[in-house]
Every structure is written in C-alpha cells, then in structure tokens.
C-alpha cells in the first residue's frame, strides 16, 4: 500500500491510512538545571547560583547522554520518530530550581513551613522553559503547566498565563495526601476557583501517579512500599472529584488519570456505582443515612461521570488492559510511551503496540494510540499525517500477533511485555 489511503494488506475490511498517527499521552521532560536560571527573576539569580553550586543530580538517568533526552530538542525528536511517535504530551521530569527532587513526586512542605515561595518561582521557571521548548516544534508537543495548591490565586494566574503562552497540555493537578497540609480535593468550595478557570479555558486537568502518595523515607523498604502503593493513592482523586461535586458542577471539565494503569477503572466504577445505589435506594441502611443527601444532589452515577469527563493516560498498556477497552471506553484510552523513563516502551514502542493491539479493529487502535489524545490536547491530525506517513507504525504490522522471537532484547524493562512467553515476570 502507498500513503494515498488504499487498504493495507492483512487487515480485512480496513481502508484507512497505512500507518498510525501515534501521539504519546505520557512523556516526560524538563530543562538542564542551569537552563532555568534565565527564567527566574533577576533578584533570585544570586540565590539560584548558591543553590545550584551545591545541587547534586539525584538520579543517574538525569546525567550524561541519558539526561539530554529531557532537554535536547533535536535528540528527543529523533528518538520519538525512531520509535514511531509523531507528537507527545510532556509531563515534568527534571528537578526545578529550589526543589530537592523532581516535583512530580516530591511533596513541598506545609504552607506554614519551608521555602514555598522559592519553589513556586522554580516551578514558574520550569513552566516558561517548557513553553519555549514546545515552541521549538510547533504542533508536536503539548506541555503541561505545573502549579501549587497552597496559593490558588497564584495558581489561577499561572494557568491563565500558560494558556496564553501555548502550553496546550493543560494543568498538572498535584495530590493532597495526608500530612501535606493541603485541603483535600473533595472540599469543593476551596478549589472552585481552580475548576472554574480550567473549565473556562477548556484546559484538561491531568493527575499523574506520584504526587498523591504521602512522603516516605529513603530506605529500600520505603521505596518498595511507595512502588506498590503509589498508583492506589493516585486513583483516589477520581472518587474525591466526584464526591466533591466538581464533575457535576463543571460538566465540560475534562480529567486525565495518567500512568496509573487501566484495569482499575472498570472495577472502581462498579464499586462506586454500588455505593451510589445503596446510598440512593437502600432506605434504612447506614449507606443511605450517610450518603443520600449527597448522591441525590448529583445528576449521574460515577461510571457516567467517567464516560463523560474522564480519560486514562494508558502508559505502556498491556494486552489484558486493551481487552477492557469497551468497559473503559475506546474514546477514553490514550496510549503513552513514558519516554524517557526506565520503564518506558521506548525504543520498543512498535513492538509494544503490536503486542497490545494485534487483531483489534484499526479504527479503534487509531483512536487509542493517537486520535483521542489529539482531540483532547488539540493536536492537528492533518498536520501530523505527513509525518506519520513517514515514521508511524504500519497498521498491517500492528495487526499481526507479535512472535516471541521478535521481542527485542531488553524489552522486559517495560511492563507492557511482562507476563508473555519468554519474558521474565
């Protein structure tokens, strides 16, 4: 088949493009630490110089050639194209000024302690760096703006700035874990200014795994506990945003739950629907007594809020998760490679897509690997089509089952490949 749109061989009944337009809904990036200096107020340059003189890069993959993948625009573009990806949504990865660790997982101190004002300036410097980084490749990067929840007026102002600056990825919603000193997300009245501005501007609200977990120590045991619980903490935001009435009061607001898996969604919707049913109809029960007033004030049940307003950033999606696509919603799934993390499907994304989506209707696959993200984040599929025709995975290749012998060496670093024959669990 040529790129003219005639049907590719091996896919019965399909007559769409030969190659998929792949948009990764979960990538990460940030500036090299010294790059942030020019984005800080001049009054903080001396303070920054003193801080960076003692700064030690906390993770090996932020050093040397591996680290450059976060901020080297040409290198990054080449890596993604080699992996079959034509556009990306970029979450933070590197350490902003005045932070001890990457801001995606590190929890700032309580509002009455520490250096919140400095860290806020550091986040704003990252946001301005991100706007310039995305502008280097127009139409191919959707950067996400970071905020803090300690000062909502400042957060709202920053969201407005980001929207005007062309950061089309929306806002990164931090978690509010116990011990953080932050008002829980289910307290609607407190966060209403945030929801109002996001709905007004039409920007997605992204909740990535990591920030919702309470702080833990640095021992091996702490890290294992964090690893096994971090996604569970992130899932809780879905319940909190429903219970608060946020989704009910702001029906056009769109929420994204990224790098948290996919399989949890159908079961969580069933679980919450069960409680909604008990609270609305089981007269005389404890559930009815506690929850009737709340659920009777809402128009929908939890699964319906999901279907109307929620999306999953399905990082390195597994085959078993793709099988749940109708329960999750084919129009709700947005595949992501997680580039440049250690567990990313990159540079094996072509094989990962084939493993997960073989035998599935290419129209559905096209939505999950690119179309849904393009619609939510404003990517122009017509603009991306010529690039996809050059580098995108072939539809016919993805449609065929992936043979075990075709799994690349080293692919088992990515969870998408775990559990299949020949790959260690």
Least confident of 114-118, 279-283, 387-391: 114-118
Mean pLDDT score, 218-233: 92
pTM attached to this predicted model: 0.94
> Domain for residue 343, yes or no?
yes
Per the listing, tokens 């319940």 go with 239
Least confident of 5-9, 15-19, 86-90, 113-117: 5-9
Mean pLDDT score, 236-246: 97
Reported as type and span, the H/E element at residue 320 is helix 319-322
The total number of structural domains that make up the chain:
1
What token pair was written down for 182?
Answer: 């932050």
> Domain for residue 101, yes or no?
yes
> Domain for residue 295, yes or no?
yes
**Percentage of the chain surpassing pLDDT 90?**
85
pLDDT at 421: 55
Alpha carbons 204 and 404: distance in angstroms, whole number: 38
Model confidence over 190-223: pLDDT tens digits? 999 999 999 999 999 999 999 899 888 889 998 8
Which residues fall within 8 angstroms of residue 340, CB to CB, at 6 or more apart? 27, 28, 29, 61, 66, 69, 70, 76, 79, 93, 346
> Domain for residue 230, yes or no?
yes
> Domain for residue 119, yes or no?
yes
Helices (H), 167-263: 188-201, 220-243, 246-249
> Do residues 259 and 213 touch, judged by C-beta distance below 8 A?
no
> Domain for residue 16, yes or no?
no
Model confidence over 259-303: pLDDT tens digits? 999 999 999 999 999 999 999 999 999 999 999 999 999 999 999
Q: In CATH, what number is assigned to the domain containing residue 328?
A: 3.20.20.140
Which residues fall within 8 angstroms of residue 348, CB to CB, at 6 or more apart? 83, 408, 410, 411, 414, 417
The mean pLDDT value of the chain amounts to 93
Does residue 111 carry a pLDDT above 90? no
> Domain for residue 420, yes or no?
no
Beta strands in 32-86 (DSSP E): none
Domain that holds residue 206: 23-399
> Domain for residue 372, yes or no?
yes
């Amino acid at each position: 088949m040529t790129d003219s749109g005639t049907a590719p061989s091996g896919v019965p009944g399909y007559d769409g493009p030969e190659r998929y337009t792949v948009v990764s809904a979960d990538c990460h990036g940030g500036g090299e630490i010294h790059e942030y200096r020019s984005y800080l107020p001049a009054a903080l340059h001396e303070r920054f110089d003193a801080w960076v003189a003692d700064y030690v890069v906390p993770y090996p993959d932020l050093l040397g050639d591996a680290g450059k993948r976060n901020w080297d625009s040409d290198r990054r573009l080449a890596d993604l194209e080699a992996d079959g990806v034509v556009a990306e949504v970029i979450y933070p990865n590197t350490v902003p000024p005045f932070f001890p660790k990457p801001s995606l997982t590190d929890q700032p101190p309580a509002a009455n302690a520490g250096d919140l004002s400095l860290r806020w300036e550091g986040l704003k410097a990252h946001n301005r760096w991100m706007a310039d980084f995305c502008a280097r490749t127009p139409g191919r990067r959707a950067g996400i703006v970071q905020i803090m929840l300690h000062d909502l007026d400042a957060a709202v102002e920053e969201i407005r700035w980001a929207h005007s600056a062309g950061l089309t990825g929306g806002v990164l919603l931090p978690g509010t874990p116990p011990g953080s000193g932050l008002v829980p997300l289910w307290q609607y009245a407190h966060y209403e200014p945030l929801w109002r501005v996001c709905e007004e501007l039409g920007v997605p609200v992204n909740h990535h795994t990591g920030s919702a977990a309470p702080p833990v120590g640095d021992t091996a045991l702490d890290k294992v506990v964090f690893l096994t619980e971090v996604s569970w903490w992130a899932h809780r935001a879905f319940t909190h945003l429903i219970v608060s009435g946020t989704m009910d009061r702001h029906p056009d607001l769109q929420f994204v739950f990224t790098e948290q898996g996919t399989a949890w969604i159908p079961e969580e919707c069933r679980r919450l629907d069960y409680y909604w049913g008990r609270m609305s109809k089981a007269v005389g029960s404890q559930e009815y007594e506690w929850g009737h007033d709340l659920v009777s004030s809402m128009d929908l049940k939890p699964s319906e809020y999901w279907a109307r307003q929620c999306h999953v950033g399905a990082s390195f999606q597994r085959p078993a998760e793709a099988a749940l696509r109708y329960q999750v919603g084919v129009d709700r799934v947005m595949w992501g490679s997680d580039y440049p993390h250690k567990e990313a499907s990159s540079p094996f994304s072509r094989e990962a897509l084939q493993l997960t989506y073989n035998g599935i209707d290419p129209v559905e696959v096209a939505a999950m690997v690119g179309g849904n993200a393009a619609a939510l984040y404003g990517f122009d599929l017509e603009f991306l089509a010529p690039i996809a025709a050059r580098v995108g995975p072939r539809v016919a290749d993805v449609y065929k089952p992936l043979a075990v012998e075709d799994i690349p060496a080293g692919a088992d670093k990515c969870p998408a490949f775990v559990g299949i024959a020949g790959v260690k669990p």
